[in-house]
Structure 1
Amino acid sequence: MANSLNLSNSKYAIVGGGLMGRLLAVALANRGAQVDLFEKGGSDASHAAARIAAAMLAPLAESAITEDSVVRMGLYSLPRWKELISELSESVFFQQDGTLILWHRQDASDAERFTAHLEKNCRANSELSSPQKLSNETLRELEPSVADRFNQGLYLPNEGQLDNRQLLEALASELKLLKVNCHWHVEIDPQDLRKESSYKAVIDCRGTGAKETWSTGDKPNTLRGVRGEVIRLYAPEVKLRRPTRLIHPRYPIYIAPKENDVYVVGATEIESDDLSEMSVRSAMELLSAVYTIHSGFAEARILEMATQCRPTLKNNLPEIRMNKDKGLVDLILINGLYRHGFMIAPAVLDCALQILEQGSSKTALELGLSVTHNSNQAEAVCA
């Protein structure tokens, strides 16, 4: 989406300074708008779900568990991430070398079902790159560090990842350069800002902090938190080149290699808003699983064990809601990115920008992103 919109006479308030709030603030400021950003936490994004993430951009891998509309948003977003990152003043690690899928011998039947599911999805969506089955020889060429432990694997081409924390920091720096009015450590109700007539719109990007707002209206959409747990490891003896997923009898383990021998390991999804520390069981399962992939993880140093709750709507799909009330500034709510936040964020961003400028979004219709109004009449409904 080209930066062709001119919003030099517009003023917006954004509540929530996580991934989506920062992306929107930067995009609007680049288009000439005046932006006030309000965030209850600091510029380090310590309260944001986006800080505790692997930031994998894997539409084919995710197609095994999510709707086709999310896959289409993921495919749309991959090239957009390259554009968005290239426009930032600070560098952000980005990689598009595919995803590696591994499994132990006892899980071969699960791997066969997983592969068949992906192949079926590729037949249904020609934009997806077909998975490639790997022998031990081809696995050794692609990812030599695991070939001694695995005789076969699956390679998903064209999938990518980025460094979430570098991105959040780069966006924070960009906000300064663009002179966005950032109100860090300020918790505010978007409804209060709607009384400020100078704003063209108030945009609510608070994630799980917006539960009460999403529970109101004629057809409320329940917003909940889904707990995720990740471990960050420093493992200089491990040389994985690309995100690697292990087919596991309980849940798929993922390992996302970042720069400087840092690896983000995760898997768990718990239906809970609990933000307490990681459980012993989760830590033991994650660490034992990564050790079975590469023995070098035995000497890794644990940098961090972290938890966060991903904002999730009742259908596990993202949504943009538009509230228009007489005498108040328009309220735009963006939420429900769930576990796919980084994978689909550019698609949601572009749809939101179209809505702010034109009142509707052709891209949302094409991708199946749900856009609803006060009257709960859907402009676009996910298939």
Structure 2
Amino acid sequence: MRQARVLGAGVAGLCVAAELVARGCEVTVFDPAPRPGPHGCSWWAGGMLAPFCEGEAAEEPVVRLGQEAAGWWERQGAAVDRRGTIVVALGRDRRELDRFARRTERHKRLDAEGLAALEPDLIGRFDRALHVPGEAHLAPRAALAHLRDRLERNGVAFVAEPGHPDGLTFDCRGLAARDMLPDLRGVKGEMAILRSADIRLSRPVRLLHPRFPLYVVPRAEGLFMLGATQIESDDRHRSVRSVLELLSAAYALHPAFGEAELVEIGVDARPAFPDNLPRLCRQGQTIHVNGLFRHGFLLGPALARMAVEAACEGTKPEFWHEDHD
């Protein structure tokens, strides 16, 4: 049985471990933290498996490879909701909806009645919208915990230490890998979680705005995750400005959010390369899986598959960089 080490137990590391287990490898995962938690940027993710919406700004590989994600997470036993994505814009920003439609694919145009049929609590709020039925979402924290438990049941050893390369190693440490990947940069993202009993949404809703775009992802028990900030910085300080922008945009989506309970504010820095695309970098027997930017849950499965194929089959997949320095 082939042995492999994985450094880092965020979404990338857990996806790689799952792919290794599927190939019959003996796997040890090293991470200083004993369980998934707020120390990792995966904890603060939105969990949107939305490749077509991401195509509005992301490169073509994100759209193509992201289509693997929902099925992969389902095969791992994670709870995936496949009700698609709603995209709306305020009346003064109607052109943003047209621009978004031109840059994306596989959406359906809705009038006010069609939107109300899918999301009754948005009735009267918007006279048109887009519905992207082929997209999905999950609860990131639950998915991480589930995958971690599943890997332990399948014999993966988790060691609460940083670890180091020894034999076949997959380095999935995110920004901590800048000691080996100096062109990694941090892209700060801030989020908020609200609780409201006055509004119900069945699927993620994106509110387009030329300066303050917003996505709202429904969670269980009346919770909603708000996100979309993207700041060129690797600091982890929560800023008043970003929180105000998130909350103002949520209020514009629906005034009921003005009375919601502010449950949590979170921030972290996502690892990205200069082109915002991920890389698989080989240094000796170590393969770096990094640079997933804002697409950890969306691209993690495809990157893990390609990294393990490269190690086990000698392929040179997409995003491959040999002997990166």
Where does 1:1-383 land on structure 2 (aligned, <5 Å)? Answer: 9-85=1-77, 92-118=78-104, 122=105, 129=106, 131-184=107-160, 186-188=161-163, 190=164, 193-194=165-166, 199=167, 201-215=168-182, 222-276=183-237, 278-324=238-284, 330-360=285-315, 364=317, 369-374=318-323
Task: Tell me if the contact between 1:45 and 1:168 (Cα under 8 Å) persists in the aligned partners.
Answer: no
The TM-score, its normalising length taken from structure 2, stands at: 0.95
SS in 1 for 2:211: coil
> What CA deviation, in whole Å up to 9, does each residue of 1:305-333 have, x standing for no partner?
00011110111001101122xxxxx1111
CA distance in 1: counterparts of 2:302 and 2:40, whole angstroms: 20
- Residue 4 of structure 2 aligns with an amino acid whose one-letter code is Y
Shift in CA distance, 74/375, structure 1 to aligned 2, threshold 3 Å: closer
CA distance in 1: counterparts of 2:137 and 2:295, whole angstroms: 12
CA distance in 1: counterparts of 2:235 and 2:188, whole angstroms: 7
Shift in CA distance, 152/170, structure 1 to aligned 2, threshold 3 Å: same
Structure 2: 5+ residue runs without aligned partners? none
CA distance in 1: counterparts of 2:82 and 2:201, whole angstroms: 14
Task: Tell me if the contact between 1:133 and 1:154 (Cα under 8 Å) persists in the aligned partners.
Answer: yes
Structure 1: 5+ residue runs without aligned partners? 1-8, 86-91, 123-128, 216-221, 325-329, 377-383
Task: Tell me if the contact between 1:228 and 1:267 (Cα under 8 Å) persists in the aligned partners.
Answer: yes
Question: How far off its partner does 1:375 sit?
Answer: 7.2
Question: How far off its partner does 1:80 sit?
Answer: 2.4
CA distance in 2: counterparts of 1:375 and 1:58, whole angstroms: 30
- Residue 323 of structure 2 aligns with an amino acid whose one-letter code is N
Task: Tell me if the contact between 1:26 and 1:178 (Cα under 8 Å) persists in the aligned partners.
Answer: no
- Residue 271 of structure 1 aligns with an amino acid whose one-letter code is E
Task: Tell me if the contact between 1:240 and 1:257 (Cα under 8 Å) persists in the aligned partners.
Answer: yes
SS in 2 for 1:269: coil
CA distance in 2: counterparts of 1:229 and 1:25, whole angstroms: 28
Question: How far off its partner does 1:155 sit?
Answer: 1.1
Question: How far off its partner does 1:299 sit?
Answer: 2.4
Structure with the greater alpha carbon radius of gyration:
1
Task: Tell me the matched-pair count.
Answer: 325
